[in-house]
Structures are given as structure tokens and as C-alpha cells.
Structure 1
């Protein structure tokens, strides 16, 4: 027998002992004199047949023999679905049985619950005391609310979105039941008094009958995608030129948000309980914007299609939008999609957007706009399995299928590889890399390159018995529907498996059901893949993500084509967490139909609960999960809410340096009234302003703390005489010991009678806030410069330059370009390339390339806006030969070409023209207060442009000096 597990793995208690021999349902007729058992009418085993009676007796005798060997009395016996028994065992008896030949597992008889997607129960929606019951029951959970899902479409026959055929007139006594007008418009009254008017577009695989009282709209937006990807011929095998889902992602997000309650879920014939969306009574409008491609193509969603869908959703009158689509780390909040969502939010639509799956690195987060809710992904109820190594070590990982696997030889994929295959491909179990030597063995495969389930398919292809999937670098562990029994382990556990194999002559392993260790897995933990803040957009003055929701191992509907015929699947990602929040918003609107999107967002954020780390300790890092993990049991009674609307967002954009052309006065982005506080550049001291609106009368006291800062809330007590009152307050942050250039995080909490309203805070202290560039004109002159220091005392100013620019002229026809070779010397601290068009209505682009020794060119920077002028700055460029490319994109109307001037600068220690002066220097400063000094220059050549820079104290960030 294999080595016994450590005694500490067991304690006295009740256990289920599973034996390795086949149960009656599994028996294949391999024993002499015992044929395969017949099935009964309607399915199952006919236990009355002679062979079944004989086989059952054999199993009972085996169980008796095993129990007697350890001095154990069986309590319950199992022979049909399982071969085993339950028993009360001492720790010593459990240890003895676990080491017995023929014993597959000894598992504590723990309490289990019926599964839905696991999340409705986990979130407190179900049961007599749950949120659904408290708000009118499942039949009213989101009734009269329409959720628009921008995704890959919907499988309309899915039982989770089953509805009744649409009538031709409103249904008496059912105010929120949709109907179809004579013109074909699907109409549904909303519970806020408005009306949804949807379109049921027909197309490949989608007829008018596929819309229903549940699915009230279906539209496909693919013009941009088809144009960029070869038209209809470029679509994938399972794709449809309609709103029908050819991928499964859209069906998954839709059913997570608004799927019907109590729908049984089966994956590969295994049952996983009953599923439900967050708002099962809400209606669904489908906006297909994402498409799957033929082999060699690029799956995706085009910006043009997405914006068109948002436009349609607003016009149709949806209440909520789910957007589980990303474009990489956000660097701005004014791209077309984000601005389209600003319009949606202005129309009263709650937008839930996925944070992205590029974690766990910092500043990887997508969707930084404050008018939408950016959702991180966390674990909820874990779906787990245990890898029991031959030396007794137990390692818990993710596992969907809850069936044991007996002891098998354990091998690295490299030990069973096809000769000549690349080592990296073998380690990742890429298709075609494993040999028949894997037959009957458990194979260890690395995560990466290919799909996780494709790896188990490769193991199955060569007859492998199971797979241990390990993360070579930190990431999530995911419970997938694998082809062979699989447990997915994290990086640390994977290293222990590999170390065990390396140190053991004949390594073995077996899989046990669930976690058979003495310690339960803490939840909710932020998923490794979930993208993190801080966001680079708006210089960090918006704290993202906003909130976390369940996003790991979520079981919901899928499209059968690309999913082995299954109607359900287990998926992980922030794509899965976002529709949880969208559905909960629909549930919220079902109770408070006239609340604003930001009020609902605030209610969710300020009532959320703490995430946890792997060791069970509290994780309040707002860059991981925002305000925390959503708590529906508290969100409907927030006490206070932070609200904002379109004029506030436009003022925010102006304050972020984004010209809106509206004439709205700018505000500091940190002052936008939201349920979080972020200051990306805090010099010494800064005061932010907020206002809160009460949902209940009462008194609220403020407490606030950020390590390394003195925090003062004024006033610190707010008294509300009735719901609906709004009061303003300020929060002043004064740096004390916080590290410069490092983020410090904390919170502000308003506490009332049995209420706690918590907002996360993130602050980044910096030595000085200074302008990016100072400009001047003339051969001699001066200009005032204002800075804000983070400390009091004297602030020294260091200058470099001025360096004269070298200017040349050109004239480009559209589509043509000019190239200039430039040598950048060693020690250059700043290089600038500045193109100014002769006509402001023309459009020029600018690129910078560095030449390698072999003559190849590497792009260093590009500036290709829609404006006439372009500019590239490079700090401390590497010495070498560069090529500056000026490209003519468009000439001014009526002109055949675009004239321009190109000026090149290189600031080095030797460039000291202009006699730069700073008066006074050092500059007397008081922490947190503006200070002004004079920057002067003289002796410059007429008609020449000059460039330099200056820095302040220890700050490494320069302010550019440009003199024309």
C-alpha cells in the first residue's frame, strides 16, 4: 500500500468510506459469471434481476470485510450510485481505512446544500429570510425591469430564458407582460412608468417566435466586424448571422443576470443542482456585438458595432446594461464606448462592466469611467477536489466533477511526451504532444497557451486516467468540464506535486471528492486573473474597480454547439462577475424603480463586505476588489447614498483635461461625488468634497483613517430629519508619514443606528505638483510658474537647457511620407520632435523609430491624432540612430498637399543657451499650498525655438520649458 497520510489529517467523527470497486450503476460485466446489469424501464439499474442481486451481495460483503478490518460498524450502505458506507470513526480508524487496499477515499460527512449557480444561496437571495422573499418573492424579483446584454448573443431555446409567446395586446392583470404590436415592435411597460420598445430581428437561426415574454428584444450588430474579418465567410463554424449565440458567452452572462429560477443544470450528463439568475423575473434584451471567427481569424467585438448597440439600447429603453467586454488596461475615459455609456447612464441606465482578466498585475484594469460600475471577480462557493499524493500530502484545487479517482501512477507530461516535440509545448500538454505511455496515468500539465479543457482532451486522447493542471505563475484555479478527471492546483501546490515526483521512485496520486483537509477554503477571495487598479486614466483620481462579485466557476447557460452539446457550462472571469451585479441592479430597480444608476451603485458599494486572503485574513485593498464583495442582504437599506448625474460627469471630464465643448466649468476629478475617494497626486494636503442623500432619518458619525495621513471630516456628524435630505461634507488629507510616490489606502465610514456606510480611499502622495510644460515667447522674457509642494521649507529648482531646435520644412500629399535620420547622443535627457502643419485643417501623423545594427527599425513612439499638429517627447532616450517619419494623412479641403515644419530638439548637459533663471531659488513653500516663482530667459536667437526642462527637489518628474 501507499504511504499513510499524516495522523493530523483525521479527527474523530462521521465519515463516508468509498471503495474502489464499481458500483452497480458503473459495473461493466467484467467479472466471471456476472454479466453487465440491465437497465430498468425509464433508466437506471434494474436491481431486481438475478445478476444485480448477486452483484449487490458481492459489494456488501466487500464493505463488511473492509469495515471489520478496522473494527468499524457501517451505518449506511451504498451500492447503486456509490460503493461504500458511512461510519463513525476514530482518527486512528480513519487513518487505517485510508491506507487499506481497495479504499478509494475516507471523507468527512460534512453538511452540503443544494447548488444553484452556487451564488444565489451564497449571496443570501434564497430562502424564507432571503432578499427575494423580502421583496415580494421570486415571481417579482426584477419584474418590470429590462436588462440589455451586449455580448455574443443568446441561445433562445435555453430553458433559463423560456417565456410565453407574445400576444398582440397588453395582458389584463399582468402589467409587465410584453406583447407585440402590429408593426412588430415588442412592447413592455416598465415598473418605473416608462416603456421598453424592442426589436425582434430575424436572421439565421432566429425567428420572430424566438422572442417571448422573457426575451423581449433581439438585435445583431456585426457590420464593423464583418467588414474587418472577411464578411460572412469569416465567421466561425457555430456562428449565426443573427442574435443567436454561436459561442456561449452571451448566453452565460444573460442567464447569470436574469435566468429563470429553479432550472436544473447538467454538464456532460452530470447534474449540478438548480440554477437561477440574480433577477429571475426581469426581462432580457439581446444585443449581439461579439462574433466568433473561422480558424485563423480573430474573435471579437468592433467598437463601431458596440457603440451602435449602446445607441439602440438607450433608444429601446432598457433599464440595465451588462457589458462583459474589454479592450485592455484603460488609459482614458473618453473613448467612444465609454462616452456612449455616459449617455446611457445619463438616460438612467445602470451599466455593469467587467474589470478585465489581466490580473494580478497592478494597473491592468479596464473601464475606468465613473458613470459605470466596474466589477472585479472573486470566488464564492468553491468547487473543489483533493489531490492525495502517495506520501499522504493533500492538495486542494478546483474541480467541477465530484467523483473520486483511485490511486494511479503520477507523471510529468515530459515523461510521456512524443519524441522531438518542443519542451514548452509538452509542458503545456498541447494537442499531439503526449504519447500512449500516458495510458492509465495521471498526467501533470502546465496551464498556458492552449485552453485548459484542451489539455485534458489531449490526456484523454492517449488514454490518460486523469490530469493535475498546475499554474506555473500565480493565477486563478478554475473548475472546468474536463474530458478526464482533473484537479486544478495553484502555483505553490503545483510546485509541491513536481517536487514529490522528482523525489519519489514510483509517485502515485488519487483524487478525492471536495476538500478532505481539515481547513475549509476561505471565501470570497479575489481571483488571480481579475484585473487590478490603480487605473492610469484621469491620473488615478478615480478609484477602480468599484466592487467585486462572484466570477469563478460560475455555472450558467451556454450555447450547445461549441460546448459539446451542453446547455450549461462552468466559466470563470470578470465576464461572469459583471452580470451578477447587473442582475442585482435589476433586482434593485424592481424595488426602487426611480433610483438613479449612481445611487444604486453607491448602495452596493457602501454595504459590501470584506474580501479575504488565502489565509482567511481580511483583504480591504481597494485596487483588488474596490469597495468589497457585494452583499445583497444589506444593499437595499444603505442609509446614505452618493449620487451624481450628467452635468457632474461633464465637469469631471473638463477637470481631467478633456475638452467637452459644453462650457461646463471644470471640477477636480477627485471631487466627483462618488462612493469612493482617490487622489492620484497629493502634495502635502488636499481637501475633497462629497455630499450624501439619506434613505432614512437619523444621526451619522464619521470615522476615517488612511495610514500615513491625518484625516479630518468636516462636519463629522450629519443629522437627517427625513429620507431624501442631502448634506455636504469635506474630507481633508494631510500627509504625515506616508511614503512619497506610494499608494496609501484606507476608508471613510458613516455609522448610524444599525447602519454602516463605508467608502474606500486611495491616496498617492508626491513631492510636488507642477505643470507638465511651461511656455514662453521672445528672445528674452519671463513667466510665472506655480507649484504645490508636499512639504514645507525651501524647494530647490534644477534646470536643464535651453537647447536650440533644428527646423526643416516639407510638403506632403495624402498617403506620402518624409523620413529624417537623427543621431541622438549619449547623455541626452530629453528629445522632442514637433510637427506643425501649415494649414490647421490638414492632418499629419508622426512616428519615431530606432535603427538596429542590422538595419531593422523598432518603433519607439507614435503620435497620430486627428489634429494637424503632432508631438513626440522621449525622456532619457537611448543613444543611437533614429528615423523620424512625418506622414501625410489628409490635406486641407481643396488642397493637394499639406505643408509642415518639423522641429527636432535634444537637451544635453552641454545645452545651456538662454541663461535660464529661477527667482527665488530655492522657492519658499508650505505643504499643500500653491507657491509661485519667476522663470526667466535671455539672449536667444530670433526665429529659433528652444527646449529645456526643470525639476523640483527630489521629484524625478520634469516640467518641460518651451520657448518660441
Structure 2
């Protein structure tokens, strides 16, 4: 008897008291004191889901459930996956793991949203509201997140949405303070899933409905596909907002919840898989998952494979913990997005007869000339010097600070709270100063603010101490202080994996998005690879709307190959193909088609990353890899190739040129030569340039 059969026989004997093996009906669970404690498990069957689920799939699930005496599942999956989630003992889970009809059994887990930790907000901000008035018509972007705030004007039913979606089958569900009437032509679907997380574990202010109380889901949806031309008024900044694909429709799938302790906020994998399965059955065109996660091919990744096989463009966040984890969502069927620290808006502190200093500022108009005072010098009588210097709430005396620009130190409270303190004390402006090394940020503030780094801060503070009664003006500048660069916390790809991750990057610091009014404001900045993924989901919607006949793999290829590389530290395992460029993605020239069964063959080990026809290459040693490209334009095109960026190896491309008619395909080979033996990672790009100016870039990463 094989070890696998022996294990199954032994475990069957342990569970015999609770199993009726001869019946197809579900058996009741034995008492916990007889079989041990139970936990929620996700069970994936070897046979895949189907776009047209059958009774046979349910019967197969029922047979497995009955075979171990498990209870009725809390969820069943039939489209993206064939599987279920149910309470199991460890023995029952082991028995199912040993069953040849089962592909994977894993315990439910809580995954965090891919918003950056608070400290990461100190990275340079970038909150550019798009001015694109059109794009994405007829496309539905599914957003699996913390829900949505339907009252926001970015989700209003406006007359300029364009053609209706052709394939979407979803609907609007009900729940606490939520009715189907809250959906409209813009918000075409809304569902919620809490059985995995547990309704008894959510915060008292949560809504058991699609309604967003955290704000994250609303921000993501608004950035990806919020309406264009929406007026924004946020503290001392105003302007106009629009999502990347403003005519696209939105379907919200709430699978992420707030807990009494914010550190317990997150998304149950059982809820996430159910949301993916529902979105796939609803036939969304693009699916955004701004949720961090493991770096393995877990149940969530397998569900995303099912979505991809059902022609959904799947976009997910790489995660924000570069020090401890490689990029999440390592699957090649997912477009994984890393974070870019964008340029920040600048401002100037001009001290009369004194120094002129530059820092970060989002102010849109200068202050008049006013007294400039150290916060210590305008302390409230009941405040400590430390509280006053940091402009903590209630620490300033309005009789002393009124009409003045106040210099506040970093620390002790949130940056934006300090400007609120200055405003409450009737100050007219703030200079925020770093005491130690650190970045500066152009936050939305309650009064015009310039944020200075430590060296310039010391210059200002020393001068003011020698010149009491000084006056100054705060002035915004039109230029940014620094070019975009990789966010240091954005998770890089794993050099031991089979493919290059992340696929590309997008702005991820200080991105402007709508939030629920229950948060105390209607707009806010958010930071993290969740913001980056939202933008790329919008780009995917633009491409799908422009090319309705393109399959998901062609859309994914177009987005990646038209990205622009980022200068500075990092390599292909940090930025992938580079920065997403929406305007170029709709006209890629060449695309890398992936066969219908190729991704599943990769999952099962029948294909390696070397053989998978994706628009990137992870090469070990002196190897030659082959890729196939198709001319997806409407004209014959000539392309010439070159290899760029490699420091220690010679990379050649054969053939050196291609001439392709519309829809014609050809293969090319990339060969690596150079030093042998241990070496540091090397990276560059294979670039194909057409006579018409179209450029296709393929990131190539060379590892040991």
C-alpha cells in the first residue's frame, strides 16, 4: 500500500464515527470533543471551474464533503474555481489533502490591504487628478476591496458614460443602510462577503453591506474609473478630478473589513476567493485586487487564474513590505504593480532680510507677509514645550499665534493635524520642519504649508532665534522638487521565481482619491501599491474599451510593453517593464499572445517560465529564450531590435529585425553570454522599434 493510501486509510478510520461514506448527502459534524477543534479551510478541487457551472460540479463537491463528514460549506465556488470553504478539523483537512480529486487545502487567512503603513506616507507625494474626459466606455472594472461610497459624485450616473457594457451579468445586493437603488449606470454592481472574516468580528461602525467605511475601496475605485470633471475642494487645494478611465463602469465587491483593533483589519481569503468567483461569473472586464498576500500560488492566485481563463484582465498590488517580503501575486496571469514615488510639488519660505528656503508644498497661493514664529514661542499655558514645538492639538495660544506663520516640528502627531492646530490658533501659514533625516511631503494642509528637510530647517530655526520679530512669505512653485523614482518600500520580485515581478510600476505616493464622507472629508491622499494598481486597472479599462476584440493576454501585454523604464537605483525585479503609460498602451504595435492552456500548464509544472510567452524574461546562466510576437496593428510594420542596459553580460537578439503584416506572428530568440560563475543580478531590456515610431520594451533579468 502506498504511503498516500495508508494515510488516507488511517485518517478515514479516525473519522469513521462521523462519516456516512455510502451516501451522497451531507453528513453532520461530529462533536468537537470527539474529533478536535475546527477551523475554516479552503478546498480547491483538481477539476477547474466553468463559465457554465453544472450540477455535476456541485455533486462532486458534495461527495468530498460527505466523505469526511464536513458541514455544509459557507461558500461554494464554481466559476473561477471548483471548490468550497467549510469548517474542518485538522484530520478532515489532511484527509481531503490526500484525496486525488483535491488540488489544494489551506486554512483561511486574513490578508492586509495594500495601503502603505503610516510611516510610508512620508514619501514624496503625487496627487495629479487626470484631465482625461473620456475613455473606458462599455467596460466594467471590478474592485475587490473594502466596499464603496455610492454618494460620491465620482460614482454618479452622468450622461457622458457612453455605450453600455455588453457582457456584464452582475447585480446590486442589499444590506445594512444599502438598497439596490444605490446602484446606477455608473455603479452597476455591488456585493459583500463577510462569512470568512466573521460578522461578529467587525467594528461596530462597520456596515454589513457593500458600503465602505474604511475608505480604501472608494479611493481605489475612484482612481481607476471615477467620473471626470468632478470638482475637488480639499483644505487649501482645489481643482478637478477624474479617474484614469472615467467612462468605465464599476462593480464593487466588498471582501475587506474593519475590526475593533485596526491592526486586525483585512480580508479573509475565503471572502476574497468568493468575491473573485462572483466577479468572474458576473463577467467583469478588469478586476482590481489591491490586497497584499503570500508569494506562493495559494487559493487566491488559483482563483485569479480562473478569472484570467474567463478573459478577465487581473491587476493586483505588489505589496509594501520590501524589507521582509517579495512581491505578492507572483502568478504570470496577474499584472502585478509596484509603487513609484512621484515628484512632489514645491514651495518656498522667503524670510524678509533672511534666508530663502525650498521644500514641499501643495499650497496654490502665497501667504501675505506675516510674522514667522517658532511654535515654542506661542505655546498655550497648559502645554509642554514639546507639545507646543510639535504643534500638537490644543498646544498653541491663539492670542500669540493669530496672523502669524508658525514653525512646527515633525513628530508627536500627524503632519496634517499640525496645520489644523495652527488654523485653530488663527495662524495664517505653517512651516513644517524635520528635526532628523527624512523625506518631505506635500500633504493637503489646513493652512498654506512648506515642509523643509532637516538641513534647511536648522538654517531657518537658527536664524529666527537670532532675529525675533522676523517676517516671511510662503510661496508655491510651479516646478516639482524631484523626478519620479522607485518607492523604497515597494516589494521587489523574487530572483528565484519563474517570471519577472512586478510587471510594471505606477505612482503610489500621495495619490488623490475620493473617500466616504463619514471619514470627515470627501477627498484624501493615499499611498501604497494599492494606488498604483488602481491606476493600471484604469489603463486596462482604456485598452479594453479601445480594442474590444483583444483577449486579456493581449491587453496585459500592451500595458507592460509600452511602459517606460525608471532611472535610478533598482532593476527589473523592482520596476518590471517600468512606468505605466496610458496613452501608449492602446497602440503597442506588437503583442505577446499566451495560449489558452499555457498558464494552467505553468501552474502544474508542464511549462516553465522560460517557455511561457509573456513579455518579460528571467534568465539563469548562459541561456537562449524564445518569444513569439504578433503585429496587432492594422498596418504592415517593420521592427528592428537592440538590447540595452546590461552591465556585465552580452545579450543578443535574433533575428535583428522583423517585418510583419497585420495579425502575422514571428518568433525571436534572446541569447546571453558573458562572465560565468557567481555574479550580481544584471538587468536590461530588449527593445523593438518600428519605422513608425512604436516602441516595445521587454524587461530581461539575469540571475545566477
Q: What is the TM-score with the length of structure 1 in the denominator?
A: 0.54
In structure 2, the gaps of 5 or more residues are: 1-125
One of 342, 349, 352 as aligned partner of 1:387: 349
CA offset digits 1:239-280 (Å, max 9, x no partner): 322111212222222122112222212224x56222212222
CA offset digits 1:941-963 (Å, max 9, x no partner): xxxxxxxxxxxxxxxxxxxxxxx
Residue 128 of structure 2 corresponds to 118
Residue 201 of structure 2 corresponds to 231
SS of equivalent residue, structure 1 residue 598: helix
Task: Judge conservation of contact 1:163–1:213 (CA < 8 Å) in 2.
Answer: yes
One of 700, 711, 730 as aligned partner of 2:639: 700
Deviation at 1:398, TM superposition (A): 3.7
Deviation at 1:458, TM superposition (A): 4.9
SS of equivalent residue, structure 1 residue 593: coil
Residue 160 of structure 1 corresponds to 154
Q: In the aligned structure 1, how far is the partner of 2:376 from the partner of 2:340? A: 31
Q: In the aligned structure 2, how far is the partner of 1:487 from the partner of 1:560? A: 27
SS of equivalent residue, structure 1 residue 693: strand
- Verify: 1:674 aligned to 2:614, yes or no: yes
One of 612, 628, 632 as aligned partner of 1:691: 628
Instruction: Tell me the number of residue pairs that the alignment of Structure 1 and Structure 2 aligns.
Output: 568
Structure 1 residues 315 and 469: alpha-carbon distance in aligned structure 2, compared to 1, 3 A threshold: farther
SS of equivalent residue, structure 2 residue 618: strand
Q: In the aligned structure 1, how far is the partner of 2:249 from the partner of 2:158? A: 12
Where do residues 205-604 of structure 1 align in structure 2 (5 Å cutoff)? 205-226=177-198, 230-232=200-202, 234-236=203-205, 239-268=206-235, 272-294=238-260, 298-327=264-293, 330=294, 332-358=295-321, 365-378=327-340, 382-388=344-350, 391-399=354-362, 402-404=365-367, 406-411=369-374, 439=401, 440=404, 442-446=406-410, 451-458=414-421, 465-468=429-432, 470=434, 472=436, 474-475=438-439, 477-489=440-452, 493-502=453-462, 505-506=465-466, 510=472, 512-515=474-477, 520-523=480-483, 525-526=484-485, 528=487, 531-535=490-494, 539-562=496-519, 564=520, 566-604=521-559
Residue 629 of structure 1 corresponds to 579
Deviation at 1:702, TM superposition (A): 1.8
SS of equivalent residue, structure 1 residue 588: helix
Residue 33 of structure 1 corresponds to none
Q: In the aligned structure 1, how far is the partner of 2:679 from the partner of 2:376? A: 45
Q: Which has the higher contact order (CA 8 A, sep 6+)?
A: 2
Q: In the aligned structure 1, how far is the partner of 2:418 from the partner of 2:576? A: 34
CA offset digits 1:732-763 (Å, max 9, x no partner): 212338x9342212110112212221112221
Task: Judge conservation of contact 2:341–2:487 (CA < 8 Å) in 1.
Answer: no
Q: In the aligned structure 1, how far is the partner of 2:561 from the partner of 2:390? A: 43
Where do residues 901-920 of structure 1 align in structure 2 (5 Å cutoff)? none
SS of equivalent residue, structure 1 residue 453: helix
Residue 170 of structure 2 corresponds to 198
Residue 687 of structure 2 corresponds to 749
Structure 1 residues 343 and 526: alpha-carbon distance in aligned structure 2, compared to 1, 3 A threshold: farther
Task: Judge conservation of contact 2:136–2:544 (CA < 8 Å) in 1.
Answer: yes
CA offset digits 1:697-725 (Å, max 9, x no partner): 233222114211021223222232x2222
Task: Judge conservation of contact 1:365–1:545 (CA < 8 Å) in 2.
Answer: yes
Residue 702 of structure 2 corresponds to 763
**More strand as a share of residues:** 1
Task: Judge conservation of contact 1:117–1:274 (CA < 8 Å) in 2.
Answer: no
Task: Judge conservation of contact 1:200–1:217 (CA < 8 Å) in 2.
Answer: yes
Task: Judge conservation of contact 2:449–2:474 (CA < 8 Å) in 1.
Answer: no
One of 133, 151, 173 as aligned partner of 2:145: 151
CA offset digits 1:353-404 (Å, max 9, x no partner): 2233346x59653332221112233366744332345632321314255442
Task: Judge conservation of contact 1:278–1:584 (CA < 8 Å) in 2.
Answer: yes
Structure 1 residues 198 and 553: alpha-carbon distance in aligned structure 2, compared to 1, 3 A threshold: same
Task: Judge conservation of contact 1:151–1:323 (CA < 8 Å) in 2.
Answer: yes
Task: Judge conservation of contact 1:405–1:485 (CA < 8 Å) in 2.
Answer: no
Residue 22 of structure 2 corresponds to none
Structure 1 residues 418 and 379: alpha-carbon distance in aligned structure 2, compared to 1, 3 A threshold: farther
Task: Judge conservation of contact 2:149–2:211 (CA < 8 Å) in 1.
Answer: yes
Deviation at 1:599, TM superposition (A): 1.7
Structure 1 residues 300 and 405: alpha-carbon distance in aligned structure 2, compared to 1, 3 A threshold: farther
Task: Judge conservation of contact 1:522–1:612 (CA < 8 Å) in 2.
Answer: no
Deviation at 1:210, TM superposition (A): 0.4
Structure 1 residues 743 and 354: alpha-carbon distance in aligned structure 2, compared to 1, 3 A threshold: same
Deviation at 1:294, TM superposition (A): 3.7
Question: What is the root-mean-square deviation of aligned Cα atoms in Å?
Answer: 3.6
Deviation at 1:455, TM superposition (A): 4.2
Deviation at 1:690, TM superposition (A): 1.5
Task: Judge conservation of contact 1:413–1:445 (CA < 8 Å) in 2.
Answer: no
Q: In the aligned structure 2, how far is the partner of 1:402 from the partner of 1:259? A: 27
Structure 1 residues 480 and 375: alpha-carbon distance in aligned structure 2, compared to 1, 3 A threshold: same
Where do residues 166-185 of structure 1 align in structure 2 (5 Å cutoff)? 176-177=163-164
Deviation at 1:646, TM superposition (A): 5.6
Structure 1 residues 500 and 471: alpha-carbon distance in aligned structure 2, compared to 1, 3 A threshold: closer
SS of equivalent residue, structure 1 residue 225: coil
SS of equivalent residue, structure 1 residue 589: helix
Task: Judge conservation of contact 1:322–1:351 (CA < 8 Å) in 2.
Answer: yes
Q: In the aligned structure 2, how far is the partner of 1:585 from the partner of 1:231? A: 35
SS of equivalent residue, structure 2 residue 455: helix
CA offset digits 1:854-877 (Å, max 9, x no partner): xxxxxxxxxxxxxxxxxxxxxxxx
Q: In the aligned structure 1, how far is the partner of 2:316 from the partner of 2:147? A: 17
Deviation at 1:573, TM superposition (A): 3.0
Q: In the aligned structure 1, how far is the partner of 2:262 from the partner of 2:224? A: 32
In structure 1, the gaps of 5 or more residues are: 1-115, 127-137, 166-173, 178-188, 614-618, 656-664, 766-964
Task: Judge conservation of contact 2:349–2:475 (CA < 8 Å) in 1.
Answer: no
Residue 726 of structure 1 corresponds to 665
Greater Cα shift, 670-679 or 314-323: 670-679
Residue 807 of structure 1 corresponds to none
Deviation at 1:427, TM superposition (A): 8.2
Structure 1 residues 585 and 678: alpha-carbon distance in aligned structure 2, compared to 1, 3 A threshold: same
Task: Judge conservation of contact 1:527–1:552 (CA < 8 Å) in 2.
Answer: no
Residue 65 of structure 2 corresponds to none
Deviation at 1:334, TM superposition (A): 0.7
Deviation at 1:301, TM superposition (A): 2.0
CA offset digits 1:453-481 (Å, max 9, x no partner): 33444555666652415495555x44333
Q: What is the TM-score with the length of structure 2 in the denominator?
A: 0.72
Q: In the aligned structure 2, how far is the partner of 1:149 from the partner of 1:203? A: 18
Q: In the aligned structure 2, how far is the partner of 1:484 from the partner of 1:497? A: 19
- Verify: 1:715 aligned to 2:652, yes or no: no
Residue 956 of structure 1 corresponds to none
Q: In the aligned structure 1, how far is the partner of 2:342 from the partner of 2:607? A: 41
Q: In the aligned structure 2, how far is the partner of 1:325 from the partner of 1:488? A: 31
Q: In the aligned structure 1, how far is the partner of 2:265 from the partner of 2:197? A: 9
